[in-house]
Amino acid sequence: MHDAAMILQSRRWTQSFARPLTLAALALGVLGVGVSNTGAAPDVDDSNPDLLQWSLEDLGKIKVTTVSRKSESLSRAPAAIYVIRPEEIRRSGINSLPELFRTVPGMEVAQANSHQWAITVRGFNSIFANKLLVLMDGRTLYTPTFSGVYWEETDTVLEDIDRIEVIRGPGAALWGANAVNGVINIMTKTAKETQGVLISGGGGVEERGFGTVRYGGQLGTNLYYRVYAKYSSRDEFTLTDGSAARDEWWRSQGGFRLDWHPSEANTATLQGDYYSGELEGQVFRLSLSPVGAFPTQFHGRGEGANVLGRWTHAFSDESDLSAQVYFDRTDRSFGISSEIRETFDFDAQHRFHLGPRHEIVWGAGYRYSGDHEEITPDYFVSDPNLGLQLFNIFAQDEVALIPDRLKLTLGTKIEHHDFTGFEVQPSARLAWTPHERHAFWAAVSRAVRTPSRSERTVSFYLEPPVPISELRLPVLVQAWGNPDFGSEELLSYEAGYRLKAHERLTLDGAAFYNVYDQVGAATALPAELRFSPEPHLLIPATYQNDLYGESYGFEVSAVWQPLDAWRLRSGYSFLKQNFHTRGPIRSFSEDGEQYDPQQQFSVWSDTDLGRHVEWGIGIRYVDDRRVLGVPNYTALDARLAWKPKPNCELSIMGRNLLDPHHREAAPQIISSSNVQVDRAVYGKLTLRF
């Protein structure tokens, strides 16, 4: 009773506080066009060069590495790429990695509950989205268990992020299988760039409490280090019937990084992390009396550690060699079972010039990932201990057809996976820069998504369909892994255009046409009438490569600086999908084309109000997801910050301010909770020494 009263009181406080904050947000957003620095008191230095420098920075000066595995200008990169930079992260007021991707054009971000996220690019979204490769400082976060990312176990100190490069479209020619619809590459700053003390923390409604402590120092000549610890706790969300979802969670993490520069040509890095957390939620559990799969509350946990080492040697400005090795261990329970996974990975690459027109990047790698899966009545594994090996080699040639104007990039990656054997994934990319303000690019790529552990070897129970009233029998749906399940295939055609229309206005657009084949589909098999332990209908289902089809669409974004103290960034995306079942039985997954929002739009405004006060306000619209029964929604976020001193920042953040809660996702596979995302308001203090 006490907990229920506290929750009710908390929600009333949120609603009463959020209404005036929402009105203020809308008013100041409208008035932002009239804001300038001229209204400051004479004795206060109102200059804030960060916003102006960040806003008007030439795209040609921003360097990216994910497109070609080498440093190149963002304006000339032959791919649909978006870069999230530190100032954008700071001014957003966001406390979690997944939320940073909400404003990236073409990205789908849906919060399923307080700790689970559905994130992908260009379709196929769910909490088990399996066509997006995610990297952090060179370490892949992609798990072979379901071919996706455990976002609730993915975190870092956001203030230490140097940039996040998001590629929309295939990146398999360099990054390998599973970089099908996109690549996210999270890169943190060097230890030398994070010297001194950082302390930040806060809390409020929904964000119950969070804090970070980081210290960076120097051990000797050219040897720098940093250590950090952080903690976060999030309150439970609300079910569609208005009751508490009971999905609260907490997480703690710590780590270190060492950067050594023994000479001008050599750099070495050693870094590692450890995390631990617990969460609550609901899953479907098997019952034999009565027969069925029923929602059950569970207590889960997650623990893991990793260590990574990297060495780079520069032979010259045009040639370098790097080698990287890491080890990662995770131990998690997820309601119906538990898993321990250990991964060892080695990767090396060499870049050099061949004559005046050819720049070659080539490399090779090896990965071993072994696991132990717990067998339970709800989760059967044909082989509870399985080790998978992956060998790869890649090569890329960037040809300067017309120096500084037209370049052709040809490359491919060849991999050998224990499940599917050899996979070849080539690409061809063309970039044309007729003028420093204009850049065109086009690409043709092939990518594959290799089978996951679950699709090949695991059996579990799914949410039962509506009971068959004529039979008056309980129904069980059991999904079986298919040992013959193969790789999914994509042939992608892309084109894009970047325009610097004015010193204060940049535009970026990309269009794509994707042809998919051998896509995984959950297919029902003939139903069986069983009488033990009591009469019921069993509907077996399995994974088949029965789906094929196409998707097409486009994404556009703009950055506009109407005034020195006012910056706007916006994005719009459109997606259309059409899929069919190849076999005689229509697949459950054929409606997957309606799992994704067809249209998304967002705009965010940053304004310096003077007297060291910053104001940010953003609105985003997400189309409905018809098959899942998730309606469209519009969300408003706002941030107000004050920097009384250069090393001190106080801020208050409001999220989802237009309504008390709304749905963004629906229960899928083993999840059973119909959860709504609640409005959140929280404060934050950041100190630097």
b vs e for 438-448, b when ≥16 Cβ sit within 10 Å of the residue's Cβ?
ebbbbbebbbb
CB contact at 8 A, 605 and 28:
no
| Cβ neighbourhood burial of 251 (10 Å; 0-12, 13-18, 19+) | buried
Domain that holds residue 160: 2-688
Q: Return the number of other C-beta atoms located less than 10 Å from residue 164's C-beta.
A: 24
The tally of domains found in the chain comes to: 1
Contacts of 49 (CB under 8 A, 6+ apart): none
CB contact at 8 A, 498 and 507:
yes
| Cβ neighbourhood burial of 295 (10 Å; 0-12, 13-18, 19+) | middle
Retrieve residue 456's tokens: 């090949």
Name the pTM for this structure.
0.90
Question: Would you report the helix, strand and coil content of the chain in percent, each value rounded to 5?
Answer: 15, 60, 25
Q: Would you give the distance in Å from CA 109 to the centre of its chain?
A: 8
Q: Would you give the distance in Å from CA 399 to the centre of its chain?
A: 32
- The mean pLDDT values, 10 residues at a time, for the chain of 689 residues are 40 40 39 35 41 59 91 92 94 92 90 91 90 94 90 93 96 93 96 96 93 95 96 92 89 97 95 94 81 82 96 95 97 90 97 95 97 91 93 97 95 95 96 93 96 91 58 79 94 96 92 95 84 84 90 95 92 93 70 78 94 94 88 96 95 95 83 85 96
Q: Identify the three-state secondary structure at position 38.
A: helix
CB contact at 8 A, 635 and 661:
no
pLDDT at 581: 86
CB contact at 8 A, 625 and 635:
no
| Dist CA 333 CA 661 (whole Å) | 28
Q: Helices in 228-277 by DSSP H: which ranges?
A: none
pLDDT at 8: 39
The CATH code of the domain that includes 378 is 2.40.170.20
Instruction: Kindly report, residue by residue over 508-548, the tens digit of the pLDDT.
Output: 999 999 999 999 888 888 888 888 888 888 888 888 898 99
Retrieve residue 289's tokens: 């009396």
